[in-house]
Structure 1
Amino acid sequence: MNVVITAGGTGGHVYPALALAEEFCRQAAATSVTLVGTGCALERTMISGTPWRMEPLRVQGVVGRGIWSSIKALLLIPAAVWQCLRLLRASKAELVVGTGGYTSPPVVFAAWLLRIPRAIVELNAIPGIANRVLGALADRIFVSFERAVPYFRAHKVAVVGTPLRRSFAAPPPDPGSGRIDTLLICGGSQGARAMNSIVLEAVQTSSRIRSRLEVIHQSGSNDFDRVAEAYRHMNVKAEVVPFVEDMPGTLRRADLVICRCGALTLSEIAACAKPSILIPFPQATHHHQESNARVVEEAGAGIVLLEPELTGAKLAQEIEGLLDDPDRVRRMAEQSLRLRNTGSAEAMVYECYRLLGQSPPERTMTNGV
């Protein structure tokens, strides 16, 4: 089978695409997978060491930009569609899967023009504009949250969760005593300067955090020097990295995660059964990060703090409250485990075989541990 998967822009799109590529090739070694992205340095870092190539597409985001940037992005679309038509013909694509983001529309639209079967993946509780539009062209729509179902035609939708790489399939660590020794700060694959500042203020505010906790902080490349220097100045035992390459291993080291709320991040945390303090990105389209986070909070696995009203002192208070309540931390970890779903990629591949009218492979993974 020849499969084309969009994988552009951020970890929230690239890693689900890699998870699907892994699963397609696991089910049938002869499967040929082509990834389509933007060609940026972050994508190259993420796919390094994998057997798949990334075809760069000259396209930009339209939503949430200035008027002239949006116009420029719109003007790029016809050429991008033409490029995709050539790519799909050259790769003899039999299936196209769009994982969201601004690389998906030209690829999925080109597949529609060529009558190639199409599936899209919507990871967030509130779908983005690109996937809302593409829903009309897709033959199958995979969503992570029940809350996303009403935005699409119900007969096309399958609620399967977020596709995770097989490195997350290992059994999660035991919640243990609920003691917090290691704190992981993760602002998404590109970092989050505002969240970094709040965390640094919290660490500065609390002598207990500074003296008791080891910190692992994914800062993003643009904020690395500032964050690393701040920890050195405070004499805190901290491991600061621009980007976490081994997220499964890093999550297993952590006892508490403070993070943004992309669907992929939340699914990876659940796969490792970790409690979390969730700080949604306030400018996320349709506030989808807050909607994602509320699902985790309602399950009892996380605490949601909204950035516009959050201070370092408030965050320090929340962290210290958890330091004083290991039973609550353990319960949060147990509830996080209940959200764990490492069989999503397999479920999607199974449905894709059915979409193509082929005999699907046997399901081997479960929805839980």
Structure 2
Amino acid sequence: MEWSMSISRHFVLAAGGTGGHMIPAHAVAEELMARGHHVALVTDERGAKIPGIFDKAQVHVLPAGRMTKNPKSWPGALKAILAGRAMARRLNETFRPTAVVGFGGYPAMPALLAALADGVPTAVHEQNAVLGRVNRLVAGRVDAIATAYPGVERLKEKYAAKVHLIGNPVREEVKQLREEDFPALTEESVFRVLVIGGSQGASILSSVVPEGLSMLPVALRRRLQVTQQCRAEDIERVRKTYAEMEIPADLATYFNDVPEKLGWSHLVIARAGASTLAELTCAGRPAILVPLPSAMDDHQTANAREMTEAGGARTIPQSRFTAVELAKQMQKMAMEPGALQNAAKRARGCGRPNAARDMADLLESIGHAPIVNDAVRVGPTPTSLNLAGVPA
């Protein structure tokens, strides 16, 4: 039987309550709903409160325990996971999902466990270049594993036949930047620098970047225009520093128009979170990346590897991220003729702008038709998913 794209199906998307999990889930939900499907979100209280996403979908807040290194936390965490699983099974009874997909984070665990218990097809999406803890726990049992990078650490080779390189879904406004040219840049024009440190800013960027910019040659420093995200406790100090250096600076604790700011930026200085990397490579913007060293499994360093090796970014470990090193790397990128434009092109080459579309295709195919996905895959190329009860 061939399934028509007009057939309406139900999908449950389960995601942890941070932007790194929720934004890709939201992009996939928008794609699925645009195809006429119905979507329900399972998350925690943090995820349910993120403004502007999942406004058109059912939202269910489930308890989800977090298994820490402290054994004393395990009984309470297990109790919460089992309670969430029971609630998710009741959701399956009423919503009758075609598939359940987890986007990482502990809130995804109860929904995935419920789907596995109920025989509902399952998939996970891994945003980082290191397989996350929850995705590692269920990788052997789910029907499909979608990844954002060609190489994913902690992903066992024996799962290669069900792994699909999808990319990280991004907002439509970011996808549109891909059709625009890199902002014009001459030796006399304004040089626009965007500094973003994740959803809460990064204090080390607030400390190092202004000092680093002050060390640039006068001819370059006078052309600078800085837009920087700062923590609330840092913002006035940073504003005063830029004023003393006579560098125009637009500072805020949060930017709700990042795609617009990304569009006119010549260089981005940022952490190496999965969503940040996806937007930089989709738009094609060169960057200096400072991975967060405390990220679980050092996944931000792994995230930065592809873009850096391609020549679209320079990665500076936080232990070596000093004003002197930043100034040195900026001069190499900004003062060599054509260097930024070339880096932008190389960054763009790492982008996977159709990730939401490809993920929706993957979910539509689970349990029904063979997967048809022209994205590059990790490991051997399968002709279809080998689902329980479905011939390969």
Structure 2 length as normaliser, TM-score? 0.82
CA contact (8 A) 1:161 1:344 kept: yes
The CA deviation string for residues 65-107 of structure 1, in whole angstroms up to 9 with x for no partner, is 6665566544422222222222333322221111112222111
Match of 1:294 in 2: 305
Whether contact under 8 Å (1:58, 1:80) holds in the other structure is: yes
- Residue aligned with 2:167, SS: coil
Counterpart in the other structure of 1:166: 172
Q: Does the Cα contact within 8 Å between 1:149 and 1:157 map onto a contact in 2?
A: no
Residue 33 of structure 1: aligned partner:
39
CA-atom RMSD, angstroms? Answer: 2.8
Kept in 1: contact 2:183–2:266 (CA 8 A): no
Tell me which residue corresponds to 1:11: 19
Aligned match for 1:23, one of 19, 31, 51: 31
Where do 5+ consecutive residues of structure 1 fail to align? none
Tell me, yes or no, if structure 1 residue 224 matches structure 2 residue 228: no
Q: Across the two proteins, how many residue pairs are aligned to each other? A: 358
Q: Tell me the CA shift for residue 302 of structure 1.
A: 0.4
Structure possessing the higher radius of gyration over alpha carbons: 2
Counterpart Cα distance in 1 of 2:140 and 2:56: 32
Match of 2:84 in 1: 80
Instruction: Show the 5 A alignment for 1:192-271.
Output: 192-203=202-213, 205-206=215-216, 208=218, 211-219=222-230, 223-235=231-243, 236-271=247-282
What is the CA distance between 1:13 and its match in structure 2? 0.7
Q: Call closer, same or farther: CA 1:285–1:41 in 2, change over 3 Å.
A: closer
1:188 matched to 2:198: yes
User: Match of 2:205, SS?
Assistant: helix
Is the 8 Å Cα contact of residues 163 and 342 (structure 1) preserved in structure 2?
A: yes
User: Matched residue of 1:20: which SS?
Assistant: helix
Aligned-partner Cα distance in 2 for 1:158–1:43: 31
Q: Would you tell me which structure has more helix in proportion to its own residues?
A: 1
CA distance in 2, matches of 1:275, 1:35: 34
The residue type equivalent to 2:56 in the other structure is P
CA contact (8 A) 1:5 1:17 kept: yes
The 3 A distance-change label for structure 1 pair 203 and 89 is: farther
| Shift, 1:205, TM fit | 4.8
The aligned residue for residue 274 of structure 1 is 285
- In 2, the alpha carbon distance for the partners of 1:316 and 1:69 equals 45
101, 107, 114: which one aligns with 2:111: 107
> Contact 2:48 / 2:61 at 8 angstroms: preserved in 1?
no
Q: What is the match of residue 381 of structure 2?
A: none
Inter-partner Cα distance in structure 2 for 1:158 and 1:210: 45
Counterpart CA distance in 2 for 1:322 and 1:277 is 9
Moved more, 210-219 or 94-103: 210-219
Structure 1 counterpart of 2:182? 175
Equivalent position of 1:351 in the other structure: 362
Q: In structure 2, do the counterparts of structure 1 residues 74 and 238 end up closer, same or farther at CA, with 3 Å as the change threshold?
A: farther
Structure 2: segments with no counterpart, 5+ residues: 1-8, 377-392
Structure 1 residue identity aligned to 2:196: C
Counterpart residue type for residue 117 of structure 1 = P
For the residues of structure 2 that align with 1:295 and 1:336, how far apart are their CA atoms? 9
**Inter-partner Cα distance in structure 1 for 2:43 and 2:217:** 44
Whether 1:339 and 2:350 are equivalent positions in the alignment is: yes
Q: What does the per-residue CA deviation read over 1:154-192, in whole Å, with 9 as the maximum and x for residues that have no partner?
A: 121111212223333323431355557111111122332
